[in-house]
Structure 1
């Protein structure tokens, strides 16, 4: 009789995976924003996140700066980047070239998104243009298959978006789950949720998804809700009504410090509710600001594994920091 498989054996509970931690960053728009961002990156790197995601502008509007940021993360830090990629308005051939470029640079994680529809949508879409995130997932897998020999040191991990509340363009939350299941069938490995404002929304999403057959990890995306204007703007973008209690508290805040305290407390509550519901990780939308994100992380008290510093990258990071300092001195 064959010996029992190690894969089939039950792992001791003490060997359960730690809570994953990740952050979202967006490419800087100018030199001053770049200096500020790299200060934030240094602070976030000290927490040993599992990866950081880098956003991608609508229709590739910031492609060059996004690729530059991804390159610097790979060569100057110990961070593992997850590249956002949107498909709306682009053809399969164009996107295949972009995917190949990302892989050539060393990116091994892609967040596959449809992207926001442009305001001037043509009546007839471009020939060969991709329409849905599911199409992009399948394209990534085809590009990956063609390059399988080049990727022996690491396959591509594909993430997708999930929606705790109904997606604004969707007919129902049931349809959202069907879309998520279709993304999984096309090759998605994990999902990150849109921002949510109510503690039960993440748990309800996971319950609906699991009943429908979705088995991939669903990671809650949370944002330090420290700005009344930003919270209201997010509510408009997501189609989700923020907590009336939160809006009232932020509206009554007498200064930025009080607003930050209120927002951090609210965000910690949402994250803890998600963790209590079995969330495998936390994804923090930082808006390129580290202070509130680190405060949320500190209050959550997530255990982070120590990782050895990589000498070559450390040297390059130190050199980059000196260059940035020289620019400030000589400006």
Structure 2
């Protein structure tokens, strides 16, 4: 089912592929805990290859290596094992437009309905390909063209992908301000994107303000809040540096005052439940949880929101 057409409140989750050489069983363990709550879809992240150096036979070789390969294989495995709606991430980074077309053909063969498009990391270690897109809207355009039967080389069978893109309630860290960031998002929507999943945030008012600004710019697609409960004080200190987000002082104070790990856990769960209650009152289409392979807090939250 296309995500843009879901007409009732839903929950969904995001998982990351296992590290290179690790078992898919760890993913199944995560899903076995979440699937009883009937998520509308499961998204699978994609990681571009990065340059690493190896000494082989006395020579230093610069080789591309993906730390978490297997996104498409994982999508197929989950779809076959659980018969659920799976949404692969596709990145501009590390892929030429020709490689992307081949990936999209594979996904069409797998009867994948939804795709989540991201630019990907632009760090100096990420492999840069010839014919690689610099912006996510360019990949959205390519997929939209394939939906119209326009491939890179020829006109051919129409695909039928529903395209999702990322939104940033606190703006993307590279944007000078939130309005310029919204202009970039509008370009992705105008190119054919049909839904938005946001970066994580911990102040629901930032999401509400963000959505109101989008509506003012005539961006009317579903905007799904991306959430991740914080259940450790140490995590609250680390996340801003990695994801360029703010942690409200209230949450930070409550976590710092917790005496035990159990108290930290309960603080994080209660804080997220209060946020969700306010978001539901605002009228969100659903909730997307970033699991990062940790499910205890999400399971506890889902038990509490079954009636939403």
Whether TM exceeds 0.5 here: the answer is yes
- Cα deviation, residue 58, structure 1: 2.8
Equivalent residues in 2 for 1:301-312, closer than 5 Å: 301-303=306-308
Partner residue in 1 for 2:272:
267
Residue 149 of structure 1 deviates from its aligned partner by 4.3
The 5 A counterparts of 1:1-331 are: 17-29=7-19, 34-59=24-49, 61=66, 64-120=69-125, 126-146=129-149, 149=157, 151=159, 155-303=160-308
C-alpha displacement at 1:281, in angstroms? 0.7
State the Cα deviation string for residues 144-181 of structure 1 (Å, max 9, x = none): 33387465xxx211110011112110011001111111
Which sections of structure 1, spanning at least 5 residues, go unmatched?
1-15, 304-331
Residue in structure 1 matched with residue 53 of structure 2 by the alignment? none
**Cα offset, 1:32, TM superposition:** 6.4
Contact 2:20 2:67 in 1 (8 A): no
Structure 1: distance between partners of 2:173 and 2:185 = 15
Q: Distance in 1 between matches of 2:67 and 2:98?
A: 19
Structure 2: 5+ residue stretches without partners = 1-5, 51-65
Indicate the structure with greater helix content: 1
Once the two structures are TM-superposed, the CA of residue 259 in structure 1 deviates from its matched residue by 1.3
Say if 2:17 and 2:68, in contact at 8 Å, map to a contact too: no
RMSD of the TM alignment (CA)?
A: 2.3
On the 8 A contact 1:87/1:115 being kept in 2, the answer is yes
Question: Residue 58 of structure 2 corresponds to which residue in structure 1?
Answer: none
Cα gap change, 1:282 to 1:227, in 2 (>3 Å): same
Where 2:292 maps in the other structure, the secondary structure is: coil
Q: Measure the CA separation in 1 of the matches of 2:176 and 2:198.
A: 18
Provide TM-score, normalisation by structure 2: 0.85
